[in-house]
Chain A
């Protein structure tokens, strides 16, 4: 019985990939550890190793094929008698834990794509179809489809071409091409002087970057994720944010700290949290958390140009999502301006980053039930565009805040306070918030699912706010 080789999941968020190259051909003998193929994921090109011994009987997916779903059978290996016996396919060596569990796979033996272990973050990665508007983009503007990852990279590259003071520094930003591929290609274009791989030393390189900004450069400091920036938070807050004030306006610190923030998929409590409320509480910082690719590009360019220190919070689960981006030269957006993603009259749903997708999906579902929701993407969390939020509240008289993060001392609680202080007379119902549960993020798929925000919870909260529960 032949062993089925299946398209492996090479990262927690990988759903499909490109079979870039076969390094074996039909009839070849292979043994454990041989490199069979190169598979390109959204993050990197990875080698696919053999686990079992045998002969390549058949190659089912030709090299160069894109969008091969995880779990698709890509080749058959004819093994020796005893090796052919196991029913399970070979687990990919680099990330065996990510392969479908044996039990699940046994049940769907004949299925093309065996069921992948679920993640609570699946519920975050909604494909919102709602008509998204951006009144700031003139009608008829040519658009190009870009992933958030590409938009961020383009923003950095464009700014670096224009200003030699800008450099990118962080772990794996250069030769590895970015741990999440965001800095892909920058080393080739700008060289090692301006694209600098660091040792694993967050406190050190955040301080170095801050000092370089004080000394007149324009650093972009990448944290592999913002979880690791906690080791460096002293420099972000005590050194970068306060310098201009403490020096009576004499010494500036134009720096961008950027990287993925918020829950990722199945990585447990230490690698999954949203720091937006932490940084947004600090005077002296600009905090930006974009949702789509256009905002990622336009706001990162603005952040790099800003004279102030900026914390730029990206989201790993959004990196691979494609959005329309205006195909114009030098697309820069204003910092501190929220965006009305969908106009509506009955209720205002406010969110930022990945929560915007949930808000849009909920709005679409609610429209079918006769609730016309307005969706606001805050985009910048400090300074907060309270004017846009309050104007919407004045129109709808009801507000729900959606936040992929903890509820306590959150952006949601801040907005509720803003509504109470400045929009009390406009409120027909208490402000509602839909957030993650108030627990460290668990690993188990079902618990993770229960801990994170999802669209049904948004819908329920909106209905409650509209007295339609």
Chain B
């Protein structure tokens, strides 16, 4: 029987939880939505809005020819990076992701100017203009990239977790990957070793429903991706990735499990990207109506705005934040447009660390 076409509504209505245990093996507790203070709601909003406005601006700059190559925007998925990373301990935990990496860096508090300047290929960029959109790193923030080969970050992230355990530093690695990468072989090689050695890692599948233009249903025999760890005894949770509080709540449950030394855990965040896979996406594989329906019904930022109003944060305050964020993004864009390109001599630097 043929597989059903891609679902029209992207995100499940409520926070799904762990499947019924198939054995008497211990499972993580059911995640509960995070109970945020009004201040925290405001912080989440700021961060999510920054990502959205930043990405919209990046899209514009791409259209103007100021950004080249591949540029993968995070619009629609903001609640995932913000909800998860807000739960991490910035001093000891590490993060790694694929090439759709701008949002994760912004959620980590990295200066939007140096990110945007990297997108425009300037010397002031975080990788000195030599990495570009897909290759950005901040060792200072324990953000390890920014990797262009689909799935590679999963094995690399497992190595970060190995290093945490080896040193006994109490840190946890978080490795993000997409529904597309979830079909790469090395993901399962990594699952096997991570569970075998009880490595402190949270595997995060950002299921935005499409691997480029191929829907999950057209590419995945098991389309419930949170189950993909089962044969390695890695517990999985499926979470509404359009709800920042659900995401944060799941992160807390996952961290509890991993920090207790129980080994890896797999989170599937059901989310949706509004824009194309990259800037050169023909948008032939899904309808305009499908995208619009998600925007109307499940948008993470609109959802959060409602919660803020309920919590007594007034329209005025929200407008004020919106204005501030626009200002930050405009400044980042101005900086990125006016900053000088790298010196030609930089072509030959950083190939090797040492002189031989």
Bound-complex Cα distance A308 to B355 (A): 10
- A-side interface residues, number (CB < 8 Å): 47
CB-CB under 8 A for A248 and B130, given A203-B189, A208-B190, A308-B353:
yes
Bound-complex Cα distance A246 to B148 (A): 11
Choose among A199, A209, A250 the residue that contacts B159 (Cβ–Cβ < 8 A).
Answer: A209
Segment of A233-241, A407-415, A420-428 in the binding face? A233-241
Closest to A167 in B: B166
B271 contacts the other chain (CB 8 A) = no
B183 contacts the other chain (CB 8 A) = no
Bound-complex Cα distance A243 to B148 (A): 11
Q: Note all chain B residues with C-beta closer than 8 A to A234.
A: 149, 152
Asked if A251 contacts B144 (CB within 8 A), the reply is: yes
A367 vs chain B, min Cβ distance (A): 33
Closest to A380 in B: B356
Asked if B351 contacts A244 (CB within 8 A), the reply is: yes
B135 contacts the other chain (CB 8 A) = yes
A58 contacts the other chain (CB 8 A) = no
Bound-complex Cα distance A10 to B138 (A): 52
Choose among A208, A213, A249, A383 the residue that contacts B356 (Cβ–Cβ < 8 A).
Answer: A383
B97 vs chain A, min Cβ distance (A): 13
Segment of B77-85, B121-129, B280-288 in the binding face? B121-129
A330 contacts the other chain (CB 8 A) = no
- B-side interface residues, number (CB < 8 Å): 48
Asked if B152 contacts A238 (CB within 8 A), the reply is: yes
CB-CB under 8 A for A244 and B193, given A207-B152, A212-B160, A239-B156:
no
Q: Using an 8 Å CB-CB cutoff, how does the interface string of A159-203 with B read, 1 for contact, 0 for none?
A: 000000001000000000000000000000000010000110101
A225 contacts the other chain (CB 8 A) = no
Interface residues of A in 39-85 (CB under 8 A from B): none
Q: Note all chain A residues with C-beta closer than 8 A to B159.
A: 207-215, 219
A27 contacts the other chain (CB 8 A) = no
Q: Note all chain B residues with C-beta closer than 8 A to A380.
A: 356
**Interface of B with A (CB < 8 Å)?**
94, 96, 125-131, 135-139, 144-149, 152, 154-160, 162-164, 166-167, 173, 185-186, 189-190, 192-193, 196, 349-354, 356
Sample of 4 more A-B contacts, CB < 8 Å, known A207-B156, A212-B159, A243-B145: A210-B159, A247-B137, A248-B127, A383-B356
In the A-B complex, the 7 residue pairs with the smallest Cβ-Cβ separation, listed nearest first, are A211-B159, A207-B155, A204-B189, A248-B128, A215-B163, A336-B356, A211-B156
**Interface of A with B (CB < 8 Å)?**
167, 193, 198-199, 201, 203-217, 219, 234-235, 238-239, 243-252, 254, 283-284, 286, 306-308, 334-336, 380, 383
